[in-house]
Structure 1
Amino acid sequence: MTETLNFDVTTVTESRIHQFDPNNITFGSLFTDHMLVADYIDGQWQTPKILPFGDISYNPALASLHYGQAIFEGMKAFKNDDDEVLMFRPQDNWQRFNISAERMCMAQVPEEIFIGGLEELLRLDAAWVPKGEDNSLYLRPFMISSDVYLGVRPSQNYRFMIIMSPAGQYYSTPPKVKVETEFIRAAPGGVGYAKCAGNYASSLYPAKLAQEQGYTQLLWTDAIEHKYFEESGTMNVMFVIDGKLVTPAVSSTILKGVTRDSLIKLAQSMGIEVEERRVSVEEVISGISNGTVTEVFGAGTAVVVSPFAAIGYEGEDYVLPAITEQSLSSKLKKALNDVRTGKVEDTFGWVWKVNA
């Protein structure tokens, strides 16, 4: 449990949960009844407020609109068989959020506001947490600079918020991805390891070009030589090579994914050899052709575990073997879901139960 903090709570007069169909979920399109708002003003966090979900007003000179000081996290909550609400690794997301905040010259968010706020919201909106193998409640903590000032300097005031949205399966079919060798996502010394809004904005144009060519996502390569894999769209990327789980080592250009870390630890607990190292495009493309690379998949909060159908490189598509229940990605996804939903004992200390 986090330190107790008083929240200023205003509840809805009527829930909108009748709008929610757990059998027909579109990611990021419907939001729960309540949201959290906490303002950092003159060096102090003000009393956090929980309000009915709705629009917020802003001044046209709001610093975040002009200079991009904005960060966020992606997390999930689940229900176990006893209808208890479980958060998955919230402290890891809180710590990473503050790493992003430091890189973007933003205020640090205390645990009692970040995790305490999540707990308060989940108690209020517990009915919105869907059951089902691929279903969850997606949690989006984020922070923006809130100075009203046109000048290039770190903001002195910030607004932290949390909104929540029911989520189902992210991809209905395995994505087809393209190796990106012209544009870059991140360069050494930059903000690639931070979960800041600008990282995603800069990826939109090259992703659009790839989608026009029939691909779902990009496989980003290094900024210097375009020889080594880094990430894939909104996911870390993992490979099964000669039966080993192989993934690029985290660096200043690669986000330290919570799902990525969870899969590594689960694989090790299953006796699977794991390598965190540089992974070259040549190694993977030749490995698909000669059979040493049997699986390539994305790992992230939204997509969970998402096997790729094919990889496009230099005008040719390299088709990957079909995924079965015996595939490592299938086994890891099941193991992860079993822990997150309380079906097996949590020996890692990852699951955070929200008291009713």
Structure 2
Amino acid sequence: MSNVIINRAETSKIESVDFENLTFGNTFTDHMLVCDFRNGQWEQPVIQPYAPFLIDPSAKIFHYGQAIFEGMKAYKDEHDDVWLFRPDQNYDRFNKSAVRLAMPEIPEEVFIDGLKQLIQIEKEWVKKGNGNSLYIRPFMIAIGSGVIAAPSTQYRFMIILSPAKSYYSGEVKVIIAEHFSRAANGGIGAAKAAGNYSAQFYPTKLANEAGFQQIIWTDDATHTKLEEAGTMNVFFRINDTLYTAPTSERILDGVTRKSLIELAARENIKVEERSVLVAELVEAAENGTLKEIFGAGTAAVVNPIVGFSFQDKYHELPKIENSFALELKSKLTGIQRKELEDTFGWTVKV
């Protein structure tokens, strides 16, 4: 991409980073990409040193929450080549989120080409080896000033990068939501909007205080249909079939989710995309046909769940040897790291 202005940092902080002891999302690389939208058009993107920036106190991001983001990863193979995983899917979803929040769509040459150029500059931050990756956070905020309740006319798109190790949160026990909802019909649940996540923090805090790590969200109208687990899509294995809720206005179209569904089909694992009822899950847990529950998302890829609580009754899941969750995670991460053949054409070389 020829029209990116590059202002390199005078020094790098990479030598001061302990790559063996990284806290997820806390360490950032030397550079970031910035591109502003003003006067009805996108300006020239800039790659510049990672640093804070000034913003007007009346900027609409602070008052009306116009903010969207994506989560992606880059991987380095044994030949020192860096690969992205299905970046086109994140690009498409980012622009769908933008449309839903009345924000301008970002051009592909800024999002995709700009990202590739940024990663080229930060290539040494991508470490080889099992579990190592570079977490990528593209986001857009409203920077136009004024507190009138209307969409902004000015926006800032940015990409920041964070080296990551394997995401491990220990044993995950979940509680099924009976009152709180993640999203509602007609709302912004299908957009990757910042407000979706802030709204989850309080009910998740209550779940944590009760001894659970996450919540399995239920539909807003009846609280009878299982939807997502924490910030992840969720799969249920009953006997030898995987079930997951269909995407909708309330449920995020997860890139990991759709990849696992395609991968499962290749591995002859039956998957059904349909609403799963809470009563159905409880019955399966009680009669022994519920084998696994796992979340699916960019950070953890696959996060097994060891048990769930509903109406103050806890159901422990069995320990099984032929785990679909672990099998699919192994195959998907193998493709991402270029250790297994990518028969789907998902990986894109930087």
Q: TM-score, normalised by structure 2?
A: 0.98
Deviations 1:8-55 (A, max 9, x none): 111111111123222212101100111000001111111100011111
* SS of equivalent residue, structure 2 residue 226: coil
* SS of equivalent residue, structure 1 residue 346: coil
Correspondence list, 1:192-271, <5 A: 192-271=189-268
Is residue 181 of structure 1 aligned with residue 184 of structure 2? no
Within 2, Cα distance between the matches of 1:34 and 1:157? 23
Aligned to 2:167: 170
Aligned to 1:61: 58
1:24 to 11, 21, 24: 21
1:138 to 135, 138, 143: 135
1:336 to 322, 332, 335: 332
The answer to whether the Cα contact below 8 Å between 2:68 and 2:97 also exists between their aligned partners in 1 is: yes
Within 2, Cα distance between the matches of 1:261 and 1:238? 11
Correspondence list, 1:340-355, <5 A: 340-354=336-350
Gap regions ≥5 residues in structure 1: none
Within 1, Cα distance between the matches of 2:301 and 2:171? 12
Within 2, Cα distance between the matches of 1:83 and 1:321? 41
Within 1, Cα distance between the matches of 2:128 and 2:179? 42
The answer to whether the Cα contact below 8 Å between 2:291 and 2:320 also exists between their aligned partners in 1 is: no
Gap regions ≥5 residues in structure 2: none
The answer to whether the Cα contact below 8 Å between 1:185 and 1:203 also exists between their aligned partners in 2 is: yes
The answer to whether the Cα contact below 8 Å between 1:5 and 1:112 also exists between their aligned partners in 2 is: no
2:187 to 177, 187, 190: 190
In the TM superposition, residue 323 of structure 1 has moved relative to its aligned partner by 5.2
Is residue 109 of structure 1 aligned with residue 106 of structure 2? yes
Within 2, Cα distance between the matches of 1:109 and 1:261? 23
* SS of equivalent residue, structure 1 residue 37: strand
Deviations 1:82-131 (A, max 9, x none): 11100001010000000000000000001100011110111011111122
RMSD between superposed Cα atoms in Å: 1.0
Q: What is the aligned-residue identity percentage?
A: 49
Q: TM-score, normalised by structure 1?
A: 0.96
Paired residue type of 1:334: S
In the TM superposition, residue 177 of structure 1 has moved relative to its aligned partner by 0.9
The answer to whether the Cα contact below 8 Å between 2:85 and 2:348 also exists between their aligned partners in 1 is: yes
Q: Between Structure 1 and Structure 2, how many residues are aligned?
A: 350
* SS of equivalent residue, structure 1 residue 177: strand
Within 1, Cα distance between the matches of 2:197 and 2:169? 22
Q: Which stretches of structure 1, 4 residues or more, deviate above 6 A after TM superposition?
A: none
